[in-house]
Amino acid sequence: MAHKRSLEALNTTLQDIRDCPATMAGITLLLSGDFRQTLPVIPKGTRADVVRACLKCSRLWQNVTTLSPKTNIRAQLCGDQIASDFASDTLSIGNSIVQLDENGKLSLTHLCTTVSNSDELEVHDFPNLQRNYLDMNWISERAILAPKNSTVTTLNAKLLHSLPGRLHVYGSIDSVLDDDRAVNYLEVIRIPLIPSGADIPFAFRRLQFPLRLCFAMLINKSQGQTLSVAGLHLDESCFSYGQLYLGCSRVGSKESLFVYSPRGRTKNIVYQEVLV
C-alpha cells in the first residue's frame, strides 16, 4: 500500500505540469488496492502513525469514489465449493471477524493444510525439487512466504543447497564463457539507494542489485502475486497489519495453502479504523 504522500506528490506534480489547480489537474485517476492488505511501512511507527500514513487519511481521499468488487478471481478460477468457502474465510481474516483464543490468536486449520515443521512445509511447497527445479513454469508458480527477512534468507539458502551439483560463489565475473555472446548484453537495472532514518552517524550510498533467490519471499513482497501453491512459514507470528490476510490470499483454494505455525495458531493484526 502506497504512502498517502505519494498520491499527494502525484497530485502536485500534475497540477504543476498542466498548470491546473483542480485535483489531479482534472485527470481521472484509477487506483486499485485492498485496505485489508499491508499498509505503508513506518519505521518504529506506532499504530496511529501507520494509520495516518494510509491513503484514507489523505486530504485527497474525499475526492475518491470507491467501488468494491465482489468476486475473488483466484477462487473463481478454481471453480469449486471449496474455493468459494476459502474466499469467504480469507475475507473473514481480512475483516477480523474470526474467533480468537485467550492469547489473541486464531486457528488456521479450517483455512489450509497445517504442517508440523519447516521441512514438511518445504516438501509440500516444492515436492521433488531436485527433479523439478529446471522447470521454470513449475517453480515460478510457488513460493514460501514469511513475515521476516531472516526467515526468508535461511529458507532460500537451505533450498539452494538442496539442489544437485556443487555450489559456487563468484565474487566477480570478468570473462565471457561463450564468445559468440560477447556482444549481447543483459541490462539489469542497478538502483542507487541512500538509506534514511538509519541509526548511524553517517550517510552512505548503496548500489542495489535487484535480483534475489525467491524460493521464499517476504509476505509484504508477495503483494500482487498469484500463486498455484503457497506456504506460510509462521514460526514467528505476523507482526503488522494485513500480513496474514495478504499471505493467505495469494492462492485461490485451501488445498493450495500450507502453513507451518507452532500449534497451528497465529496472530492476525487488523485495525478496524482503516476498514471503516
- pLDDT tens-digit map of 87-99: 999 999 999 998 8
Contact 248, 110 (CB under 8 A): no
Residue 81 lies in a domain: yes
Same domain, 158 and 225: yes
Domain that holds residue 135: 73-163+213-274
Tell me which long-range contacts 118-125 makes (C-beta under 8 A, separation of at least 24): 118/155, 118/233, 118/235, 118/260, 120/260, 121/231, 121/233, 121/258, 121/259, 121/260, 122/155, 122/158, 122/159, 122/231, 124/229, 124/231, 124/258, 125/229, 125/230, 125/231, 125/258
> Do 98 and 219 reside in the same domain of the chain?
yes
Average pLDDT over residues 98-125: 92
Q: Based on the fold, state whether residues 99 and 80 are members of the same structural domain.
A: yes
**In which band, very low, low, confident or very high, does the pLDDT at 125 lie, cut at 50, 70 and 90?**
very high
Within this chain, do residues 30 and 79 fall inside the same structural domain, yes or no?
Answer: no
The answer to whether residues 93 and 32 belong to one domain is no
Rounded percentage of the chain residues whose pLDDT exceeds 90: 66
Report the number of distinct structural domains present in the chain.
2
Q: Are residues 156 and 221 in the same domain?
A: yes
The verdict on residue 170 lying in a domain is no
Residue 244 lies in a domain: yes
Tell me which of 44, 63, 82 is where a domain ends.
63
- Tens-digit pLDDT profile for residues 48-81: 999 999 999 999 999 999 998 888 888 888 878 8
Has residue 188 been placed in a domain? no
